[in-house]
């Protein structure tokens, strides 16, 4: 039996016991924040509720550690963005002095890059290895596919984008390929053998050519720390104080890297909130934060529950939502702010009425003095805002959409719109080119020749239906022509429905997520039903809203420009607004229909609503349409997450169209 006994450096040698601090930390922080700031040793888990001053707490902790005599070079601050670490360290330097900027701060990937450049020879890497971005990675996969790496069954193998997603999920979730394919891409299970072969070739090719993608930076770093004890101890001794931000968003490999880096000291402080773990699609696993006390025995747990963002009525609703979670740290958000209106629950008759309410209430709030830039509409999926975008355009409410893509920028939506546009304008060369390039056997040169002929014809659909050619693509051209000719005199809604049927084989052949994209086409059909004129519909669909991100807006020359924010909840995390609308709180929409049979996915949907609610500072509106035609012409149930909210915590608003307000007996 061989035992290693670790001699720890004494606290006296590292940090003098008698220290005069230039900052009065206790007075400038809450009691819970000060508890975090004054403790440096052993494992500490800080459960930081939404809006609880987490960044401020970390900033003061860095400053106090350095004032206490801890060398800044021995402190490692791991964050998920370089901007986050730079902000914390620059704030700490402003509080104290420039010593704070000597702290080693950065992302897991930048840390891995540094370690592998210096010590990567131990795992077969040269210091000059290249780093691939996602596009580069997809190109490598495409190269292997073209070389026959798919076992000559390419027709059954996903495209390069889907393969990249499969490989990345398998690596950052530390999960077998077969399990990833079975859970996320079950239609490719028959090709699992080819996918596994391609994955082996993919990894070998990268190593041979010294190419690392983002996932490799983590995987090789973990391997180096696991398999080379002298390097693990060297790095652990160098970074004797580790702070990890947003620990709930770590994937299994990142959590293992933290555990390995703490090998000789266990001085790890993880900060996070399991209730805000919403990035499982990126590999994040909320269990990492839940299991931290088991991973690091003797962990001290400190909870930050005082909220500095929202009024108490909003926090009451947020607490209700997350209290229903099956697994969480018990906490209760509170604020010292006085007053605040109850959050509002607004059932609408249908999506149209929901959009009308949101737009009207936004204008009313603007009249009350709330700037557009202090308001946001949040949603589960990017497609949920399509109808609202039209309503906002109709009312000249300017907005920026963050997360996902705008309706008319989705490729499959643009495909259908191109078919509609040539019905109105047969000379629309751009739309004709898009349409023709969808057809097998037609490339750019052939498309250009056909377009030249189309422009010489008085009736393009009829000419295409009797396409005078014997080429291999003739049947596809004729099918296109017959479809366009048949829908010329139909209503806009009937035209879209017919085009969906025509386009369906193309959709399924081009996109691995065809089923989800077809739901967007159903949404398009529901929207166009509101228009009797195709010309008017196409005109309104071409009104492009602003497309910049929130950060871009902050950097514009026109600082006075006010834009409402439309955002997916995933893109809204970490942000805040005076007034927030959360729309489509309906079963099948929020939670998503894809999550209701998956326990973990359903719990994440609950956390999404918690994140959405805690973005609001003063006003919170929760809305849903009672009637949803996406799943058939039937009434739908409100989101199950609303059931856990105390009715005493909500103000229920009933919507009434102004035209219905008066009757023959009214004497108003």
- Provide the annotated binding site: 48-55
Please, is 462 exposed, middle or buried when counting C-beta atoms within 10 Å of its C-beta (0-12, 13-18, 19+)? middle
CA distances from 189 to 175, 183, 488 (A): 15, 10, 42
Is 327 among the residues known to form the active site?
no
Cα 161 to Cα 535: distance, rounded to the nearest angstrom: 36
Token pair for residue 136?
């580069």
The secondary structure of residue 642, as a DSSP letter, is G
| Number of C-beta neighbours around residue 514 at 10 A | 18
DSSP H helical segments within 298-443, as ranges? 312-323, 351-367, 386-394, 411-424, 429-436
Is 615 among the residues known to form the active site?
yes
Query: Which residues are annotated as part of the binding site for ATP?
Result: 48-55
Burial 516-545 (b: 16+ CB within 10 A, else e): ebbbbbbbbbbbbbebeebeebbeebeeeb
CB 502 within 8 A of CB 484: no
- Catalytic residue (choose from 615, 618, 623, 628): 615
Is 206 among the residues known to form the active site?
no
**SS3 category, 55:** helix
- Catalytic residue (choose from 67, 194, 245, 351): 245
CA distances from 222 to 218, 289, 478, 638 (A): 6, 19, 57, 45
Is 368 among the residues known to form the active site?
no
Is 246 among the residues known to form the active site?
yes
Do the strands 627-628 and 634-635 form a parallel or antiparallel pair, or are they unpaired? Answer: antiparallel
| CA neighbor of 65 nearest in space, from 100, 24, 113 | 100
**SS3 category, 564:** strand
Cα radius of gyration rounded to whole Å, the chain: 29
- Catalytic residue (choose from 213, 216, 246, 520): 246
Cα 325 to Cα 273: distance, rounded to the nearest angstrom: 13
Cα 326 to Cα 365: distance, rounded to the nearest angstrom: 37
Cα 64 to Cα 589: distance, rounded to the nearest angstrom: 47
Is 391 among the residues known to form the active site?
no
- Catalytic residue (choose from 162, 164, 276, 295): 276
CB 233 within 8 A of CB 271: no
DSSP H helical segments within 43-103, as ranges? 54-67, 82-95
- Catalytic residue (choose from 54, 160, 169, 331): 54
Element (DSSP H or E) covering residue 379: strand 375-379
Cα 99 to Cα 141: distance, rounded to the nearest angstrom: 45
Burial 309-340 (b: 16+ CB within 10 A, else e): bbbbbbbbbbbbbbbebeebbebebebeeeeb
* Beta-ladder partners of 627: 635
Token pair for residue 182?
């079975």
Task: Give, to the nearest 10 degrees, the angle between helix 429-436 and helix 411-424.
Answer: 130
CB 364 within 8 A of CB 641: no
- Catalytic residue (choose from 55, 210, 223, 478): 55
Token pair for residue 4?
């290693």
| Number of C-beta neighbours around residue 344 at 10 A | 16
Token pair for residue 15?
């940090």
End-to-end CA distance of the chain: 94
Token pair for residue 479?
């099918």
| CA neighbor of 74 nearest in space, from 241, 257, 243, 260 | 241
Do the strands 211-212 and 241-244 form a parallel or antiparallel pair, or are they unpaired? Answer: unpaired
- Can you list the positions of beta strands (E) in 68-177? 75-79, 104-107, 130-131
Catalytic residues: 54-55, 245-246, 276, 615
């Amino acid at each position: 039996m061989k035992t290693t006994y670790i001699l720890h450096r004494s606290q006296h040698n590292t940090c003098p016991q008698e220290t005069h601090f230039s900052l009065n930390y206790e007075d400038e922080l809450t009691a819970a924040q000060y508890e975090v700031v004054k403790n440096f040793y052993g494992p500490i888990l800080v459960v930081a509720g939404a809006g609880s001053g987490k960044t401020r707490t970390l900033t003061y902790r860095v400053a106090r550690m350095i004032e206490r005599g801890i060398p800044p070079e021995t402190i490692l601050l791991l964050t998920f963005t370089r901007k986050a670490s730079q902000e914390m360290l620059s704030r700490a330097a402003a509080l104290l002095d420039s010593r704070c900027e000597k702290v080693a701060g950065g992302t897991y990937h930048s840390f891995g890059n540094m370690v592998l450049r210096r010590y990567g020879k131990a795992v077969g890497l040269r210091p000059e290895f290249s780093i691939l971005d996602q596009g580069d990675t997809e190109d490598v996969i495409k190269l292997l596919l073209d070389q026959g790496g798919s076992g000559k069954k390419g027709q059954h193998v996903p495209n390069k984008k889907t393969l990249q997603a499969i490989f990345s999920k398998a690596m950052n979730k530390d999960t077998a390929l077969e399990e990833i394919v079975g859970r996320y891409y079950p239609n490719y299970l028959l090709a699992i053998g080819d996918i596994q072969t391609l994955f082996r070739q993919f990894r070998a090719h990268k190593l041979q050519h010294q190419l690392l993608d983002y996932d490799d930076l983590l995987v090789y770093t973990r391997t180096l720390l696991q398999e080379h004890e002298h390097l693990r101890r060297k790095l652990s001794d160098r970074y004797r104080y580790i702070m990890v931000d947003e620990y709930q968003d770590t994937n299994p490999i990142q959590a293992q890297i933290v555990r390995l880096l703490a090998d000789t000291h266990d001085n790890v402080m993880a900060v996070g909130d399991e209730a805000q773990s919403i990035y499982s699609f990126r590999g994040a696993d909320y269990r990492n934060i839940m299991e931290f006390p088991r991973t690091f025995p003797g962990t001290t747990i400190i909870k930050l529950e005082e909220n500095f963002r929202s009024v108490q009525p909003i926090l009451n609703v947020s607490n209700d939502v997350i209290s229903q979670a099956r697994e969480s740290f018990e906490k209760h958000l509170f604020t010292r702010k006085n007053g605040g209106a109850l959050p509002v629950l607004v059932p609408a008759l249908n999506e149209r009425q929901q959009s009308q309410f949101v737009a009207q209430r936004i204008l009313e709030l603007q009249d009350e003095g709330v700037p557009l830039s202090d308001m946001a509409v949040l949603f589960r999926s990017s497609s949920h805002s399509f109808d609202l975008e039209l309503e906002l355009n109709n009312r000249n409410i300017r907005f920026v959409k963050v997360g996902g893509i705008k309706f008319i920028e989705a490729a499959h939506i643009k495909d259908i719109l191109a078919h509609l546009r040539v019905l109105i304008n047969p000379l629309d060369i751009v739309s004709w080119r898009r349409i023709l390039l969808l057809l097998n056997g037609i490339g750019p040169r052939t498309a250009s020749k056909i377009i030249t002929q189309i422009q010489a014809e008085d009736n393009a659909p009829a000419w295409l239906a009797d396409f005078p050619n014997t080429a291999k693509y003739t049947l596809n051209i004729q099918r296109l022509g017959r479809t366009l000719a048949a829908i010329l005199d139909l209503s806009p809604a009937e035209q879209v429905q017919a085009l969906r049927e025509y386009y369906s084989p193309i959709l399924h052949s081009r996109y691995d997520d065809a089923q989800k994209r077809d739901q967007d086409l159903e949404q398009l059909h529901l929207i166009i039903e509101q228009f009797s004129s195709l010309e008017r519909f196409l005109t309104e669909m071409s009104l492009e809203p602003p497309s910049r991100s929130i950060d871009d807006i902050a950097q514009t020359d026109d600082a006075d420009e006010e834009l409402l924010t439309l955002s997916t909840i995933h893109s809204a995390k970490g942000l805040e607004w005076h007034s927030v609308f959360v729309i489509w709180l309906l079963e099948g929409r929020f939670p998503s229909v894809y999550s209701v049979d998956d326990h973990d996915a359903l719990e994440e949907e609950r956390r999404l609503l918690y994140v959405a609610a805690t973005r609001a500072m003063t006003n919170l509106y929760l809305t849903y349409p009672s009637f949803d035609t996406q799943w058939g012409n039937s009434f739908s149930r409100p989101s199950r997450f609303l059931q856990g909210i105390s009715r005493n915590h909500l103000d229920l608003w009933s919507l009434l169209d102004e035209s219905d307000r008066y009757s023959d007996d009214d004497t108003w």
